[in-house]
Chain A
Amino acid sequence: MTHQTSATFATAKKNRTPLAEIDVRDAGVAKKLGRVLPMPADRTARVSSFNSAL
């Protein structure tokens, strides 16, 4: 059995986003890419952290 014919792969493949529709601006995708590529500052999620406000 190759990994591409495994049940796990088949399920993931069925549910995955088509290549052309992968949104690299999405925070989740940026996080994945950030593990293997340095990501530009404007692609890293930043939150407002001030304690006394949201």
Chain B
Amino acid sequence: MTGPLVPFREIVLKVHSRCDLACDHCYIYEHADQSWRTRPKAISDEAISWTALRLAEHAKAHALPSVSVILHGGEPLLAGPERLRRVCEALTGALDGVAELDLRIHTNGLQLSPRYLDLFAEFGVRVGISLDGDKAANDRHRRFADGRSSHPQVLRAVGLLRQERYRPLDLGLLCTIDVANDPVAVYDALAALDPPRIDFLLPHATWDDPPPRPDGSATAYADWLLTVFDRWDAGGRPMPVRLFESVLSTLSGGPSLTESLGLAPTDLVVVETDGALEQVDSLKSAYDGAAATGFDVFSHSFDEVAAHPGVRTRQLGLAGVSETCQRCPVVRSCGGGLYTHRYRSGPATAAARAPGGFDNTSVYCADLEALIRGIESRTAAGLVPPAVADTGELLVAQHDLTRSLLAELHAELAGRGGDAWQEAWELAGTVERAAHNTADAEPTASPGHTASTEPTTGTEPTTGTENTASPGHTDGLDEVLAHPYTRTWLIDSVAALRAERPDALATALRFPAYVAAAVIRGGLDLPVRTGYRDGGLHLPTLGTVRLGGPGEHGEAEVRVAGKGFVVRAATAEPLLVRPDEATPYWRPVRRLARDGAPGFALDDLDPYRDCFGVPVHPGLGHDEAADWSDRLAAAWRLLGERVPEQTAEAAATLSTLTPLVTTGPPAAHRRHGYAHGHGYGALGVPLHGGAEELAPALLRAVRAARLRALTEVTDLYALDGEWHRPAPWQEEPVPLSALLSGAYERVGLAAYDPRHRDQARRALDTLEGAAELTVGGKSLLTTLREEADRG
């Protein structure tokens, strides 16, 4: 087994090995493993101390930010308040200053009293209680040894925990399923107690000892759970249900939330009352000694247990499930089910049809698949991110991401940006508020982000200040943040700070220039101080003002004046800039405008434009720009004729074209420039080539930009790279991201050039049923199918 050791983040500490109930479905006492008979009843002080020591040592060695310790049994309250206090003190003391400690206890509730709860409140121990539903359901298994019902006592404990002073400790209710119980009655009884969380457990079973199926149905447990799901959903999902939330999470590309589902590696270890270190204790249902490792806290570190083959097997993700599971479309959600439920006795030979050991599907396989597909069919429409089908929502999500990145940069700096950052940050807030107030008063007329469709001639400067007169100024900050290369700068800044790059602060402190551009675009009478370097001050989306020679650095003040702005630097005369007029000291960002083509910004100035993986042009001369514009306009007209819908969509979403000094596809070149990409709206387009060459290059770039934009704000797939599939355009199989990307591009290109149609269709066929696809990814696939069918 390979791969790095996965540290333990969750410790199940058995503080008492006996129980005051005699539930007949208990895996500790009623199943294959009988090791409880030889364990000490209560954990010793020595085992407590060593556990705390080992855990602190482990957390420190792996720099774990937090660890969870679950006090468990038997029945953990039987350990008594004094012993539990010693456990809490030892763990809290050992972890102090090392890692955050999340302490929990799981109990049957019978002994719960204010004495315990006051102790738990003191140490922040949160409490979960087992309850199997209404009285009839709970009484089916959860009885005293003499057969008496435990239901009234459990309800009393739940009531105690619901008191105002203890309510913050309440974790919720854990219910083991019995399909003989009425699912609605069970759910209603649990929900009536208003718990903060519920979970339903499949009763432990193996292929040797399969679960009861009273009506013979292979999906009896799924049917039972889906009935509960419908009840929960119809009631407005009043509390999280862990099992359902886990499926919903994985359907959307998120993590599983329980070890019983999903492919996440196990990070759990059990400490028994005698200090023995064991694997997850549900294994006790498989066979006697199944959970044993031979290690203990007195002589062994947690790292030694983490390296145990039995633990490592459950950390292999996809490679750790059976071949049948690896081919199953729902494996990302079910993960092959709980490890224990895969067990079958007998020789573990590959030749056997059903080998012994754990290399099998779950004994609940049919249930798990039916449950996952059932939840998906009920919820998929609501789970698909709006951005997948709605361009407006995609642009909103992209903008929201850039704003979040700016907030992240502010947090990452944590004061290190000094006055220069703080001043700019506060100004940005002022610009935002001013725009918000104006927006409340009247509709905003924005001059900036998206290309104008007004027919114009020539390569013109972008307009920056046409609408600067207040009232009615535009939201300059939104326009500057929507600029695609602002994203490139933000990600580079955060990455630089995290990597402690020497240029990190200087990189982040480009921010005042962005604010200055926002102020100018918003027409606000606010002076902005900003640094410049190498003699140049680049105002994103507007242009570059020359304030000195190469190597000269300094500070300038930028202020709106009339129909332009004034730049004052200590070493030079004030410069009056009209954004649309090029001068010896001002190079505006030009607008690429020709009849029939949108007025995209021709950005060959932004210092962060070098983010396409291939070299960008250092700056086009007037004639070069005019020539490129002519050829692009001709290419655009070709696209408009052959793929009018895609062309109109691109015109409405793109803002910026940057010339590339290559004619080949990016993959053919060494990675170049910023690796972080850019916000939605920019295309890198080859400088060379006629309209017939540029048109497909533009379309290819448009398709790639849109898919990339989608993946930046939605989860279309998860576990990319776990599988490789054949791609019709190359010999080597590819991961799903590459297959989807190739299909997305070819479906678009096929409408322009039918030669791409066959590869597009074959790729779409291969994508069908791919386990990596989320509900969003599947929705996109359906849209692609429809697009491909339209031709």
Contacts and interface: CB of A to CB of B under 8 A. Distances in A.
A18 B425 CA distance: 12
Contacts of B268: 49-50
- Determine chain B's interface SS by DSSP, over half rule: mixed
Contacts of B9: 46
Question: Which 8 pairs across A and B sit closest by C-beta, in order of nearness?
Answer: A8-B392, A54-B128, A53-B106, A42-B65, A22-B407, A2-B450, A3-B395, A54-B171
Contacts of B433: 18
Contacts of A53: 12, 70, 72, 104, 106, 128, 174
B652 A48 contact: no
Contacts of B405: 33, 36-37
B313 interface: no
Interface of B: 9-10, 12, 27, 63-66, 68, 70, 72, 102, 104, 106, 128, 171-174, 197, 199, 201, 242, 255-260, 264, 267-268, 280-282, 338, 390, 392-393, 395-396, 399-401, 403-408, 411, 425, 428-429, 432-433, 436, 439, 443-446, 448-450, 475, 477-479, 482, 491, 494-495, 498, 652-653, 676-677, 711-713, 715
11 contacts: A4-B479, A8-B393, A8-B396, A13-B436, A35-B715, A37-B408, A50-B70, A51-B258, A52-B281, A53-B70, A54-B242
B68 A2 contact: no
- Determine chain A's interface SS by DSSP, over half rule: loop
A24 B264 CA distance: 25
Nearest to A4: B446
Interface string A1-20: 11111111110111010111
Interface string A22-48: 101000010011011100111000111
Contacts of B401: 32-33, 35-36
Nearest to B129: A54
A33 B408 contact: yes
Nearest to A35: B712
Contacts of B403: 16, 19, 22
A1 B652 contact: yes
Given A5-B443, A33-B408, A52 B106 contact: yes
Contact of A4 (B201, B280, B449): B449
A40 B412 CA distance: 12
Contacts of A18: 429, 432-433, 436
Given A35-B715, A53-B106, A53-B128, 14 more contacts: A1-B652, A4-B446, A5-B443, A13-B436, A13-B475, A16-B403, A18-B433, A37-B491, A42-B65, A46-B66, A49-B259, A52-B72, A54-B106, A54-B199
A8 B712 CA distance: 19
Contacts of A14: 439
Contacts of B264: 49
